[in-house]
Amino acid sequence: MKMIKAKIIFSRIFIVVFFLFFIAAVHYGFFLLLMKSEALTVREIIVRNNKFVSKENVIYLSGIKMGNSILAIDLVDVAKKLQNYPFIKKAEVKRILPDKIEVILTENEPVVNFAINGEYYLLGENGAVIIKGFYEKIPVLELDFSVGIENGILKDDFVCYILKNLGDFDGLSNISKLVVKKNSGVYVFLKGLQNITFYLGKKIPDKNLLDKIFLMAEKIKNEGIKINFVDLRSENALGF
């Protein structure tokens, strides 16, 4: 009796396992058919929010090629590849069936124009050399010393701290130029007041210091103060 019950139980288990295996095999076969289907191959890659990184460069970095199976693409892996690029802060990759891939970027915004070998490049707040060109809405950065660039990133801690703070400041479009000198420190020039030097010494310009500079600039303009040099190391610079 026990042997009969055991055989019945075994038979039922075998039937269930076989049925599950059969369903899995059908699903896998269907998946393989979909993978090979020309209707589910990549025909278009949509790139959004790319202001400084070109669409062509995004597609190249993603590794996705036209004609790839849209189901075989690992979206997480593609996003990681893109985010390894110093100019891309975040990438979101989506499938739009049957034949489109959408890439939504958050870029590292440029904070300064910086001359390298006589040509201007845009630098991001992380020190990344974003792209060759000049952007009028951000200041020029001038250094009186040379800095190295490794893997597209400026290699100088002091300058990178400055760039990070500039990335957190909303009034960049009103700054004309920042000059950093190895021995004396940081000088700031504002648009409309380029004849006035705001000197910070070895202080790293942050939001508080930059706000202070703009308050001083307003005071100078409103009161018609004749001055060419403002030393922000002084506690009483222009009464601030």
Torsions phi, psi for 184 (to 5 deg)? -110, -25
Q: Same structural domain for residues 141 and 49?
A: no
> Is the Cβ–Cβ distance between 212 and 238 less than 8 Å?
no
Q: Same structural domain for residues 73 and 119?
A: no
Q: Same structural domain for residues 128 and 233?
A: yes
100-107: strand order across its sheet: 44-48, 100-107, 88-96
Measured between alpha carbons, how far is 93 from 103 in angstroms, rounded to an integer? 5
pLDDT at site 14: 58
Cβ within 8 Å of residue 40, ≥6 positions away: 34, 69, 70, 71, 97, 98, 99
pLDDT at site 218: 93
- Closest CA relative to residue 147, chosen from 133, 176, 127, 166: 127
Q: What is the CATH number of the domain that holds 89?
A: 3.10.20.310
Task: Answer yes or no: is 75 within a domain.
Answer: yes
pLDDT at site 199: 96
Domain boundary among 86, 107, 128: 107
Q: Same structural domain for residues 136 and 153?
A: yes
Helix axes 55-62, 75-83, angle to 10 degrees: 120
Domain boundary among 53, 81, 107: 107
Q: Same structural domain for residues 67 and 45?
A: yes
Q: Same structural domain for residues 218 and 164?
A: yes
Q: Same structural domain for residues 184 and 222?
A: yes
Give the CA-trace dihedral at 195, 198, 202, 207, to 10 degrees: -130
Q: Same structural domain for residues 79 and 168?
A: no
Cβ within 8 Å of residue 72, ≥6 positions away: 35
pLDDT at site 25: 55
Partners of 197 in beta bridges: 229
Range of the domain at 88: 40-107
Domain count across the chain: 2
Q: What does each of the 240 residues of the chain score in pLDDT, given as a tens digit?
A: 555 655 566 566 656 665 566 565 545 554 454 445 566 899 999 999 998 889 999 999 999 999 999 999 999 999 999 999 878 989 999 999 999 999 999 998 899 999 998 999 999 988 988 888 899 999 999 999 999 888 888 999 999 999 999 988 989 999 999 999 999 999 999 999 989 999 999 999 999 999 999 999 999 999 999 999 999 987 656 554
Domain boundary among 52, 74, 107: 107
pLDDT at site 210: 94
Q: Same structural domain for residues 65 and 116?
A: no
Q: Same structural domain for residues 134 and 221?
A: yes
Task: Answer yes or no: is 2 within a domain.
Answer: no
**Token pair listed for 11:** 């038979």
- Closest CA relative to residue 125, chosen from 144, 134, 138, 115: 138
Task: Answer yes or no: is 147 within a domain.
Answer: yes
Task: Answer yes or no: is 11 within a domain.
Answer: no
pLDDT at site 33: 47
Task: Answer yes or no: is 32 within a domain.
Answer: no
Q: Same structural domain for residues 103 and 199?
A: no
pLDDT at site 66: 94
Q: What is the CATH number of the domain that holds 143?
A: 3.40.50.10960
Q: Same structural domain for residues 230 and 131?
A: yes
> Is the Cβ–Cβ distance between 84 and 70 less than 8 Å?
no
pLDDT at site 20: 63
pTM listed for this prediction:
0.67
Q: How many CA atoms lie within 13 A of 169 on its CB side?
A: 27
